[in-house]
Amino acid sequence: MSPHDADRALVERAQQGDARAFEMLVVKYQRRIERLISRMVRDADLVHDIAQETFIRAYRALPQFRGESAFYTWLYRIAVNTAKKALVELKRDPVSTESARARSGEDDETYRTGHELSDGETPEALLASKEIAATVNAAIDALSEDLRQAITLREIEGLSYEEIADVMNCPIGTVRSRIFRAREAIALKLRPLLGTREGERW
């Protein structure tokens, strides 16, 4: 199953005016969109603003989304165009955006490779991120073989439940259950870390 297929129901509901469905898509793609933008823009506040603008533009343009490409591909293009436009405006209006431009550095340096610290991202936050990633990976390793295989085939290989059922030679209902149980087991280990971060309400 492609990511496009996984999003279809929520996208169609959002197109029919269901803001809750769009919010679910926002939560799903926010991290990926912010990472994408952070490769083009160093300033953390600007990354946040551009990501917000990206989703607002997507929300406005939803009726025109035809589903001929994956929703994320469409969203990705909006994010890139929004970031490019922000960078152009940054050059054009250096007075109002001087501090942001100073933090952004020269043009060639606005594109980053690898996970460097961007402005506004603290060493503590980076450490917390690494701890979260390590916890998830440790939780995956601690899963039974069946659960690990099911969630890996879904999340990493992108297979549909039907395809996973074929691979694992079990009913689709079992696949559904294994993936759910795997997520719950990992989330159980994850929750204490998330709950302690910046008072966020998980």
Partner 1 sequence: MSDDSPHPPHAKSDAEHWAALSALVDGEAGAQAQERCLALWAEQAGVRARWRQYQLIGDILRSRELASAYAHDEAFLSALRARMAREPAVLRPKTAVLRRLRSWAAPMAATAGVAAVAGVVVMLRTAPDGGGAAQVAVQVAAQPAAAQPIVVSAPVVAQGLQPVNGRLIRDARLDRYFAAHRQSATGTALQMPGSMVRSVDTIVLEDR
Contacts (CB under 8 A) with partner 1, residues 159-178: 160-161, 176-177
Cβ–Cβ under 8 Å, residues 45 and 63 = no
- 149 sits near partner 1 (criterion: CB under 8 A): no
| Residue type present at position 97 | T
- 152 sits near partner 1 (criterion: CB under 8 A): yes
Q: Which residues pair with 43 in a beta bridge?
A: 119
Cβ-based nearer residue to partner 1, 47 or 100: 47
- 156 sits near partner 1 (criterion: CB under 8 A): yes
- Distance (Å, rounded) from C-alpha 162 to C-alpha 1? 9
Which part of the chain contacts partner 1 (CB under 8 A), choosing from 92-100, 101-109, 146-154? 146-154
Cβ-based nearer residue to partner 1, 52 or 110: 52
Map the footprint of partner 1 across residues 41-100, applying CB under 8 A. 44, 47-48, 51-53, 55-57, 59-66, 68-69, 74, 77-78, 81-82, 85
- 27 sits near partner 1 (criterion: CB under 8 A): yes
